[in-house]
Chains A and B, each alone.
Chain A
Amino acid sequence: MSSLGTSRPMTGLPRWARLTATALLVVAVVSLPLNASPFVNLQLSIVLATAVALLGLDVLTGWTGQVSLGQSAFYGIGAYAVAVCTARGWPLLVGLAVTVLIAGLVGAIIAIPAVRLRGYALSMVTLALPVVAVPLAKRLDGLTGGSPGLATRTVSAPEWSGLDNDQWRFLVIALISAAVFLLVRNVLKGRHGRALATIRSSEVLATAMGIPVQRYKVGAFVVAAACGGVGGGLYVVAVQFISPETLIVTFSISLLAVLVIGGLRSTLGPLLGAAFYVLVPNVTGAVDAGQSYLLYGLCVLLVMFLLPGGLASAVHRVLAGAARVLPGSRPAVPDLPSQHPIPAPPLPEREVR
């Protein structure tokens, strides 16, 4: 089914290699915060929070082909929901449940008009979300704290763990992110993923095949919104603060950009994209603080020039190479997704006047 764009990085590897890699990853994630400074833990936590939001955007944009510029609004909904709930002393999981409910509901409401639209019209409608969300967040200052923002204590390390707060928060965020990634990945693995991929390549074809196109598109919107919300909630867990400036339009636009930079339709893509978004400005800032923004923009262009399939495509290529060499591999799959991008949706026929 790889021709439909399911690109899981380790599919080609033998079983033992996959298990070892997964185990190594888990050990790395758990031991990472123990040796890192609070700043590094904070940065890594934000990477994971951003990755969850990107994962949702990938379902909508990468898988279903609906280009959305509104993800930062859902990120904001989640961030405020978690901030408000935890500020009232409710447990984090309640806050996240509220987030999923509200963000999912808003996503469903937005989806109803949006599923009628295609391409750029849809992008513009979704772009309206953060544009409206920022002044709204400032207006509802009883709830959101207005322009100055809202500070809260989300989770603290329990006594028995012997961990610092930043370490504990990173682990909590990593656990929740992993759960969301597994959930979404498994939903996309089967017929739902294939249905979305078919809708992306041609809605007419999908309808002809009996796929309930509208229902899937609304579903993709809801998943994107809920993941965006959880991502924002995790951001608040890490940063303990949220202000309206977090949801600005440029953040939405950046999310879309780093999703493509990370790589569409790949489990690794959102992670790599989030890492790019959070970490590259640190690097360019260190190189030259005055030119940080210029260097960041050039990095974006550079990645698109060298790896139009995103950073994940490079990793996929390496892993595909490894799969050929390692003992116990299945015979090489001829059409690896990284070398076989999904064909772009057919260009609209243009009327000749």
Chain B
Amino acid sequence: MLLFYQVLDGLVSGSIYAALALAIVLAYRATGVINFAQGQMAVFSAYLAWSLTTIGLPVWLAIAGALLLSVVVGAFLERVVMRRFESAEPLVGIVVSIGLFISVNGLVSLIWGTSLTQFPAVFPAGSIELGDVGITYVALGTVVVLLLVIAALQLLFMRTRLGLGFRAVAVNPESSSLSGLPVGLLLMTGWGLAAALGALAGTLVAPALYLQPGMMDMVLIYALAAAVLGGLDSPFGAVVAAWLIGVVENLAGTFIPAIGNDLKIAVPLVLMCLVLFFRPQGLFGRVEVERV
């Protein structure tokens, strides 16, 4: 029974890592840059949602509003900041995203302060009884929301013209541009969608963690690990890897006393190193072919 609850807990935290990892993968597919600021942008969105609740909106409406605003913020950052560096060395892109990370963190502290803020509960308290196990609504809701997101993304990418455009731009921006796709607009939308996914991660995690400028820092590390482990350009891989990381970490922290709570983060990272050693392209990534 303890095992069951630990796996469930792992899936719940894994779902939150997955939402942010999906955001990182989407932004990466759009612009080829790993956005280190993704977690910090999620914090910004979570605070936005909180501000919307303070003016009297119900929490679900506030989150929806924050998601929409995040799309605008993400698209804006892509157009105004990131666009200039997309053709530069990848390292420059990384550093620009680090600059964004610091700036957004500073902005959040400036607007909302650095003290802990309570975020209203998204899901009702209590749990649903299935036979002799109880699953809390929070756990159930988090996992279900993530599954819905995956389904929506799948529909978007595979069944819509917009999704087709995204995939085309991700594979070959130049040819896409020559075939008349609005590449710039698609990149902006890609970053906007990524920001919305990050916002979802932020608002899902906020009730448990309290709002504070650094609340996504650890989640970002897990999400980065999940994105890379999954293969970086594979949304499906990112989700599977995130769940794997959540579960493995929780089990190791609980059942191996020598690891305990402080070192449990090492377990998924070591696992990631091992997997990458044998599959450098990640679990579901494509092998990179170099042309000489």
- List residues of A whose CB falls within 8 A of some B CB: 61, 67, 113, 116-121, 123-125, 127-128, 131-132, 135-136, 138-139, 202-205, 208, 249-250, 253-254, 256-257, 260-261, 264, 290-298, 300-301, 304-305, 308, 341, 344, 346, 348-353
Contact (Cβ within 8 A) B98 A256: yes
B51-108, CB < 8 A from A = 81, 84-85, 88-92, 94-96, 98-107
Note all chain B residues with C-beta closer than 8 A to A119: 90
Q: State whether A127 and B224 are in contact (beta carbons under 8 Å apart), knowing that A120-B34, A136-B263, A300-B99 are contacts in the complex.
A: yes
Contact (Cβ within 8 A) B95 A353: no
Q: State whether A294 and B99 are in contact (beta carbons under 8 Å apart), knowing that A117-B276, A139-B263 are contacts in the complex.
A: no
Q: State whether A308 and B103 are in contact (beta carbons under 8 Å apart), knowing that A125-B272, A300-B98 are contacts in the complex.
A: no
B4 at interface (Cβ–Cβ under 8 A)?
Answer: no
Contact (Cβ within 8 A) B225 A304: no
CB of B178 to closest CB in A, whole Å: 14
B144 at interface (Cβ–Cβ under 8 A)?
Answer: no
Note all chain B residues with C-beta closer than 8 A to A264: 91
Taking a contact as CB atoms closer than 8 A, the residue among B104, B263, B277, B282 that contacts A135 in the complex is: B263
- List residues of B whose CB falls within 8 A of some A CB: 34, 36, 81, 84-85, 88-92, 94-96, 98-107, 109-110, 171-172, 217, 221, 224-225, 228-229, 232, 262-263, 265-266, 269-270, 272-273, 276-277, 280-282, 286, 288-292
Contact (Cβ within 8 A) B221 A131: yes
Contact (Cβ within 8 A) A125 B88: no
Contact (Cβ within 8 A) B92 A350: no
Note all chain B residues with C-beta closer than 8 A to A127: 221, 224, 269
Note all chain A residues with C-beta closer than 8 A to B288: 118, 348-349
Contact (Cβ within 8 A) A352 B172: yes
Instruction: Give the complex CA separation of A123 and B90 in angstroms.
Output: 12
Chain B residue, CB-CB nearest to A300: B99
Instruction: Give the complex CA separation of A84 and B281 in angstroms.
Output: 40
Number of cross-chain contacts by CB at 8 Å: 158
Q: State whether A349 and B272 are in contact (beta carbons under 8 Å apart), knowing that A138-B262, A294-B110 are contacts in the complex.
A: no
List 13 extra interface pairs beyond A253-B36, A341-B89, CB under 8 A.
Answer: A118-B288, A119-B90, A121-B280, A123-B94, A128-B266, A131-B221, A132-B269, A135-B263, A202-B292, A260-B91, A293-B109, A346-B291, A351-B286
23 A-B residue pairings within 8 Å (CB atoms) = A67-B91, A113-B277, A119-B90, A123-B228, A125-B273, A128-B225, A128-B266, A128-B270, A132-B270, A135-B265, A249-B221, A256-B91, A257-B95, A261-B95, A264-B91, A293-B102, A293-B105, A294-B109, A296-B106, A301-B99, A304-B85, A304-B96, A350-B171
CB of B89 to closest CB in A, whole Å: 5
Instruction: Give the complex CA separation of A296 and B103 in angstroms.
Output: 7
Contact (Cβ within 8 A) B104 A301: no
Contact (Cβ within 8 A) A253 B171: no
Note all chain A residues with C-beta closer than 8 A to B109: 293-294
Note all chain B residues with C-beta closer than 8 A to A120: 34, 228, 232
Main secondary structure of the interface of A (DSSP, over half): helix
CB of A310 to closest CB in B, whole Å: 10
Instruction: Give the complex CA separation of A260 and B199 in angstroms.
Output: 29
Contact (Cβ within 8 A) B100 A301: yes
Instruction: Give the complex CA separation of A308 and B110 in angstroms.
Output: 28
Instruction: Give the complex CA separation of A54 and B28 in angstroms.
Output: 27
Q: State whether A116 and B277 are in contact (beta carbons under 8 Å apart), knowing that A128-B272, A132-B269, A297-B100 are contacts in the complex.
A: yes
Contact (Cβ within 8 A) A117 B95: no
Instruction: Give the complex CA separation of A301 and B85 in angstroms.
Output: 11
CB of B263 to closest CB in A, whole Å: 5
Instruction: Give the complex CA separation of A305 and B282 in angstroms.
Output: 33
Note all chain A residues with C-beta closer than 8 A to B172: 350, 352
Note all chain B residues with C-beta closer than 8 A to A116: 277, 280
Instruction: Give the complex CA separation of A245 and B109 in angstroms.
Output: 21
Contact (Cβ within 8 A) A294 B107: yes
Note all chain A residues with C-beta closer than 8 A to B81: 301
Q: State whether A291 and B99 are in contact (beta carbons under 8 Å apart), knowing that A135-B266, A350-B171 are contacts in the complex.
A: no
Which 3 pairs across A and B sit closest by C-beta, in order of nearness?
A294-B106, A297-B103, A297-B102
CB of A72 to closest CB in B, whole Å: 14
Instruction: Name, among A121, A202, A292, A346, the residue most crowded by chain B CB atoms within 10 Å (CB to CB).
Output: A121
Q: State whether A300 and B95 are in contact (beta carbons under 8 Å apart), knowing that A132-B266, A135-B263, A344-B89 are contacts in the complex.
A: yes
Taking a contact as CB atoms closer than 8 A, the residue among B98, B107, B265, B290 that contacts A346 in the complex is: B290
CB of B191 to closest CB in A, whole Å: 16
Chain B residue, CB-CB nearest to A117: B280
CB of B6 to closest CB in A, whole Å: 20
Instruction: Give the complex CA separation of A44 and B269 in angstroms.
Output: 36
